[in-house]
Amino acid sequence: MAKIGMIGAGSWGIALSVLLHNNGHEITVWSALADEIAMLTAAHEHKDKLPGVKLSEDIVFTTDLAEAVEGKDILVLAVPSSFTRKTAHSMKPYVSAGQIIVNVAKGIEESTLMTLSQVIEEEAPQADVAVLSGPSHAEEVGRGIPTTIVVGANSRATAEYIQNVFMSDVFRVYTSPDVLGIELGAALKNVVALAAGIADGLGYGDNTKAALITRGITEIARLGMAMGGKFETFCGLSGIGDLIVTCASMHSRNRRAGILIGQGKSMEEAMAEVKMVVEGVFSAKAAMGLAKRYQVELPIIEQVNEVLFQGKEAAAAVKDLMIRDKKLETPDSAQW
């Protein structure tokens, strides 16, 4: 049995708490929101973000960060990406040397263009930082629906330890040394999912969705490989796997926000209606910053940025993608 501190009580943190408790581990859940902790303590259910998913009576809920961090074998950092740095900074005094922090949020810090594991390592350098990602909606994981995911870590021993803690008959965990590739796939797919939702909102069909998924993973891999990620990672669970589920499912807040934007709502109106953090909005600008730094073309992500932040009509963005200069599909075709 492992002692686990769940840092964040949103839908993903709660779903993972249920999974890990079912695996036999001791769980302490932390939130900065006193009202949230009061609700969880009284109802043992997150009625707002994961209704119907019950938490065991022996799970501890707290607003005391020291209680959630100190003495734990694993800390799971499950706050929205925009709060990762602040939370990691607050955790630092309580984190011991070599203590494992598993980041499960998906995003890129807009101001620094750092991945979230890089942010955590900067704020709590004494920690052993890993990432967990893949096609895994909280609504399904919380209900025990079979899911497959990947853990990335700087050492095989850490990755395999996390694998053993999380793995069950409904939650299969693979390991990978490509932490950077896993994080980039996880963050950038949210931007492409916004594009897929926009296309749905415009009333386009399956052909359009397939094109966005296929060309979207090409963009993600192009940038990821330029930054040092491995091609195989973008063909795997945190790449094409996560992209497919996020572009296709109504569980996806990014797709839902995109649908609303395609129907004519502003980015702010869409985020307010979804009522949850839409990570792709925060990652979109960061992706373009990385594209400029590494001199990589990201036409889909560029058009998403123009719709989100420059007031471009969604239909005009799709048209501009369609009438771009003629291209070879793959670089190897240049041998003709």
Contact 257, 270 (CB under 8 A): yes
**Count of helix runs (H) and strand runs (E) in the chain:** 16, 8
How many other CB atoms sit within 10 Å of the CB of residue 206?
7
In order of 101, 127, 180, 238, 336, the CA distances from 115 in angstroms are 15, 16, 8, 14, 38
Question: Annotated catalytic, 189?
Answer: yes
**Cα–Cα distance between 85 and 105 in angstroms, integer?**
12
Q: What is the DSSP string of 112-129?
A: T--BHHHHHHHH-TTSEE
Per the residue annotation, which of 72, 189, 230, 285 is the catalytic one?
189
**Cα–Cα distance between 155 and 98 in angstroms, integer?**
12
| Best CA proximity match to 12, nearest among 62, 81, 63 | 81
Give the pair of three-digit tokens for residue 333.
């075709």
**Cα–Cα distance between 230 and 219 in angstroms, integer?**
14
**Cα–Cα distance between 235 and 297 in angstroms, integer?**
19
How many other CB atoms sit within 10 Å of the CB of residue 293?
12
| Best CA proximity match to 118, nearest among 137, 135, 105 | 105
Annotated active-site positions, please? Answer: 189
